[in-house]
Amino acid sequence: MKPFRFVDFAQFFVVKSDIITNKELISVFGKIAAAIAVATTGMIVRDNVRLTVTRYTEKFEKLPESFNGFTIVHASDLHNQQFGENQSKLIEAVKSEKPDMIAVTGDLFHTEHRGRAYRFIERAAKIAPCYYVSGNHEQRFADYFRNIKPRLQALGAVVLDDERVTLSRNGENITVIGLADPSFKRTVPPEHLTEDKLSKLTSDLDGFTILLSHRPELLRVYARHNISLALAGHAHGGQIRFRKRGLFAVHQGWFPKYTEGIVVEKNTKMLISRGLGNSTYYPKINNPPELAVIKMYKL
Ligand SMILES: [Fe+2]
């Protein structure tokens, strides 16, 4: 068998003469590099708009029997991204999971073009009770309290910024707690602020608790308050992913610890969504938009 030589391979593309010149060789390299660049760009672009659904099944000791099989669709960091006309692809994906609750954990908005985010909330709230907390991007809107929050409530969302609600089934209860993003009060370090808020919101609770909070890096605070399940986003999967690790996340830095999936601290499990949208000019790589779904069972 004839041994492989690159010049033979290159001549396959050029073909015109028996002897390949330097100029022709450079031309072949150029064409191959251009083809790889086009294919890679296409893959990255597609990867940034391809909606994926990640499903988790978790068992919890404190979960009341009546909530066995309770399903939460967790949508984080939409950043005004659109999935189909009027968010139809995203809504279909949410609906097909038959959720008992939809959790929207911040950075729903990005720029002044708010229609896509509102449309998602309006349609999602018709599928299941939809609970929302703010992210750091919401803090950037001067009219958040005046316009955005009341509009979300009018569209059917329950805004849980530093609030809690009780869900009941057959006389059994669970509590859903929400935290506004710490960026709304920059004068207090996020850990202290969260500690203080959770002390007030959980002081009289002993049962199963779900926490909606944009920030995954505060897991140790959530665990100190015995949160059963925390839902967070913010890290965008670390933007660029290598195998199971992300490259960078705001408030965590390089090679962040909390970027996706289920992580455990003491009695607290936290589900981190890689998010649906993007907030930077450079793309996510190996990190497509994610809708996370968790089904809970009694241990
Ligand atoms: Fe975000």
Query: What is the mean pLDDT of the segment spanning 258-267?
Result: 97
Query: What is d(CA 252, CA 236) in angstroms, rounded to the nearest whole number?
Result: 11
Listed range (56-60, 219-223, 258-262, 276-280) with the worst mean pLDDT: 276-280
Count CA within 13 A, CB hemisphere, residue 156.
Answer: 17
**Dihedral (CA of 155, 180, 107, 70) sign:** negative
Residue 3: phi and psi, rounded to 5, are -65, 150
277 CA distance to ligand 1 middle (Å) = 7
179-194 burial code (b ≥16 CB/10 A, e <16): bbbbbbeeeeebeebb
Residue 198 three-state SS: helix
Q: How many residues does the chain have?
A: 299
55 CA distance to ligand 1 middle (Å) = 21
Looking at residue 27, its pLDDT comes to 85
32 CA distance to ligand 1 middle (Å) = 36
pLDDT at 261 over 50: yes
pLDDT at 89 over 90: yes
138 CA distance to ligand 1 middle (Å) = 10
Query: What is the mean pLDDT of the segment spanning 144-151?
Result: 96
250 CA distance to ligand 1 middle (Å) = 9
Report yes or no: 277 and 78 within 8 Å, Cβ to Cβ: yes
Give the model confidence (pLDDT) of 205-217 as tens digits: 999 999 999 999 9
10 CA distance to ligand 1 middle (Å) = 46
Looking at residue 7, its pLDDT comes to 47
CA 109 to chain centre: 13
Looking at residue 222, its pLDDT comes to 98
106 CA distance to ligand 1 middle (Å) = 7
pLDDT at 246 over 90: yes
Looking at residue 35, its pLDDT comes to 83
40 CA distance to ligand 1 middle (Å) = 25
The position carrying tokens 């007030």 is: 200
* CA-to-CA separations, 208 to 168, 172, 228, 232, 297, in angstroms, rounded: 12, 10, 6, 17, 12
65 CA distance to ligand 1 middle (Å) = 35
Q: DSSP class of residue 145?
A: I
Residues, CB within 5 angstroms of ligand 1 (ion): 77, 107, 279
Q: Are strands 290-298 and 70-75 parallel, antiparallel or unpaired?
A: antiparallel
133 CA distance to ligand 1 middle (Å) = 12
14 CA distance to ligand 1 middle (Å) = 48
Which pair of structure tokens corresponds to residue 243? 């195998």
Query: What is d(CA 190, CA 275) in angstroms, rounded to the nearest whole number?
Result: 21
CA-wise closest residue to 195 among 227, 164, 152: 227
pTM: 0.89
36 CA distance to ligand 1 middle (Å) = 30
* CA-to-CA separations, 224 to 133, 232, 259, in angstroms, rounded: 21, 16, 21
Could you tell me the end-to-end alpha-carbon distance of the chain, in angstroms, rounded to an integer?
Answer: 63
200 CA distance to ligand 1 middle (Å) = 27
Query: What is the mean pLDDT of the segment spanning 162-190?
Result: 96
Residue 269: strand pairing partners? 229, 264
Listed range (24-38, 43-57, 86-100, 237-251) with the worst mean pLDDT: 24-38
Give the model confidence (pLDDT) of 108-118 as tens digits: 999 878 999 99
Structure confidence at residue 53 as a pLDDT band (50, 70, 90): very high
Looking at residue 22, its pLDDT comes to 79
Structure confidence at residue 119 as a pLDDT band (50, 70, 90): very high
CA 155 to chain centre: 22
Give the model confidence (pLDDT) of 181-205 as tens digits: 999 999 999 999 999 999 999 999 9
276 CA distance to ligand 1 middle (Å) = 9
Query: What is d(CA 218, CA 220) in angstroms, rounded to the nearest whole number?
Result: 6
